[in-house]
Structure 1
C-alpha cells in the first residue's frame, strides 16, 4: 500500500503544479491522457475537455468522477496604472488570496508572475483596512510597467487566466497542505486506483470507468457521461468542520448536500463496505456543497449516485488533508469496485 500512497503523493504534486482554473484545463488534461496511456489504458478526450477511461470489467457500468479544474481568476481589465483588475472563476474567495503569488497566462502562450493584493495593502500608509472583496483586489505584475499601455505591450489582455500558486507540501507526519486539494487530491487517488488495478490485475465485478472533469467549479463538469452508465460516484473532497464527523484522516461519505440526498442504497453500500474493511469513515451532511454527479442527474441521466472523498479542511482556502484520509479513500474504492 505504501508504494501507492507515494505514487498518489507524487501525482498530487504533479497535478497541482499544472495551472488549471476552470476554462484553462488543456495542459492538465494532456497530462492525464499521457499518464493513463503510460499505464497501458486507452483514455479518451471529449470535445468538452473531460478525460474518460475504462479500467476494466463488464456490465452494470460504474463511473468514478473527480475534477481537475480549480478555482482561479481571469483578467477583467487592465487599469490605468498597469495593474490587473480580476474577475472570479468558480467560488474563489479573495480573502484567502490577498498576498498570494500567482501566474498570468496570455492568449499567445506567455507566462508572467505576479502578486494578488488589495488596493491599499500597507498598514503604514492606509488610514484603515481595505475590505478584501473583488472590486478592491488587483494583480501586480512582476514587470516594470506602471501604465495600461505598458501592460498591454506585454501581451496581457482581458480574458487572460490568473492562477494562484498551490504551495503543495506533504509533511513527514503525513499532512497534505495545498491549494486545490479540491479536487486534485481525489484525481490523484483515482490515478492511484488505476495503477493498483493494472499492477495487481484486479478482477472487477462490473465495468468501471474513471471520469476526470474540467468544469466542476462552475457547475457543469459531469453533465455528460457514457450512455450506458448505471451508477456514478463523485470522488471529491470530504468536508471537515463544525457539526461534521469527518476529520482529515478519514474518508467521508456524503448523505446529503445542497442538491439534496444521495442515493440511499449507494450511500448505504459505501458505508457498509467501509465498515467491513475496518476503515476510518464518517457519514456526513454538507450544507454548502454541490458535486459533478448532481450535474449528471440534472442533465437527465437515469443513474444511482454517491459522493465520497478524503477529509479536507479549509475548503476553497489553503487546504489541508492527511495521507490516512487518502489511504481510507483508496481502500474503500478498491473494495467497492470488486463487490
Structure 2
C-alpha cells in the first residue's frame, strides 16, 4: 500500500481566506467583486485566472506528465443565495424575489444589503408583512411565502418616491448578512458556507502545492463558478476536461451519515449516480489517508458536475465536500471537514497512476 500523503495544510490561511470570501457579497450573477478577490488570490499563488464570458474563472495547472487526453477539473462555486428587488411598495418597503432556492422562513428577520445599479448600498431587514405580535393576531400562523415578505429599508422612507430617490430600483441585488463566527473549538457558523467553504478548501490545496513545490501528474483545471445556485454554474466546461470533481457542501440530517466534522462523498444526487470508479477511488483514499468521511445520497441536491453532465459534457464526475449543517439556512461546519476535503483532493491528485 502506498505511504500516506497527509499534506501539512495551512489552516490559518484556510480560515483567513474563508472569512474574506464570506464577507464579500456574491449572490448568483453578482460576483464581480468576489471574482476579483479570487483572481488576486490566484495570482499570489502563481496562477493566472481566465474569466469566461459568463463570469466563471478557470485556473490551469499543467501536469508533470501532461497528457491532453487526461485533464481533471475541480470545481466549486462562489455564488450564494440572495434576492432581487421585485417591486417598490407604496409604503416604501421592498418586495423581493429569491435568487436561489431557500425557504422564506430562513431569511425572516435577517439583515441585508441592497446594491443599486449605480454602486450605492443600503441596509435593510427582511420581515413579514405582519411582523408584530402586538399588532397582528395571526402572526404566528401567517404563511411565510414571497407575497407575504418585504424588506424594511434603513433609511427615512415613507413612499415609493422616497425609495426611488435613493437610486433603488427593480432588479437591484440584495445580499444577506453572513453573520460569520469562527469559534475556538474549530466550528465555523455562517451563511454561505455553501459553497465558500469548498472554495477555501481548493485554495488551501493550491497553497500547499505552491509551498511544497508539488505538481500533479495530470493537468488540473480549477473552475470557480458563479451561477451554481441557479442551476447552470459549470454547465459549459473546457472541452479537454475528461474528469471532474465537484467540491460542494455535504448535507446533514434525516437518514444521512455525514457530520460537520467529516468529508461527504456523494454517491448519487437528483441528477443520478456519480461515476463508480471515481467515487470508489475517493472512498478508498479517504480510508487509506484516515480522513473522517461518510458516503451519502442526496435526492434534493444538484452540483456543478450535474450541470456539466446535463450540458452534454462527456466526462466522468464525482462529488465531495465538507459536511454543512442547516444548508440554505444558518449553516455550520468545522475546520476539520474543510481541511479534510483539501486533503482528500490532494490524495486523489497525487495518487500514482498506472
Structure 1 moving runs of 4+ over 3 Å: none
Aligned-partner Cα distance in 2 for 1:30–1:222: 19
> For 1:96, which of 94, 106, 116 is the aligned residue?
106
The corresponding residue for 1:87 is: 97
TM-score (structure 1 length as normaliser): 0.98
The corresponding residue for 1:317 is: 329
**Does 1:226 find its partner at 2:238?**
yes
The corresponding residue for 2:172 is: 160
1:6 Cα shift? 1.5
SS in 1 for 2:34: helix
Map 1:120-269 to 2 at 5 A.
120-129=130-139, 130-269=142-281
* Structure 2 stretches lacking a partner, 5+ long: 1-6
The corresponding residue for 2:123 is: 113
1:245 Cα shift? 1.1
SS in 2 for 1:115: strand
The corresponding residue for 2:3 is: none
SS in 2 for 1:176: strand
The corresponding residue for 1:43 is: 49
SS in 2 for 1:273: helix
1:118 Cα shift? 0.5
- Indicate conservation of the 8 Å contact 2:180/2:191, yes or no: yes
1:92 Cα shift? 2.6
1:55 Cα shift? 2.8
SS in 1 for 2:138: coil
Aligned-partner Cα distance in 2 for 1:332–1:5: 15
TM-score (structure 2 length as normaliser): 0.94
> For 1:14, which of 11, 15, 20 is the aligned residue?
20
Aligned-partner Cα distance in 2 for 1:35–1:324: 22
Q: CA RMSD in A?
A: 1.0
Map 1:65-80 to 2 at 5 A.
65-80=75-90
- Indicate conservation of the 8 Å contact 2:27/2:79, yes or no: yes
The corresponding residue for 1:272 is: 284
SS in 1 for 2:214: coil
1:2 Cα shift? 7.0
Aligned-partner Cα distance in 2 for 1:2–1:93: 39
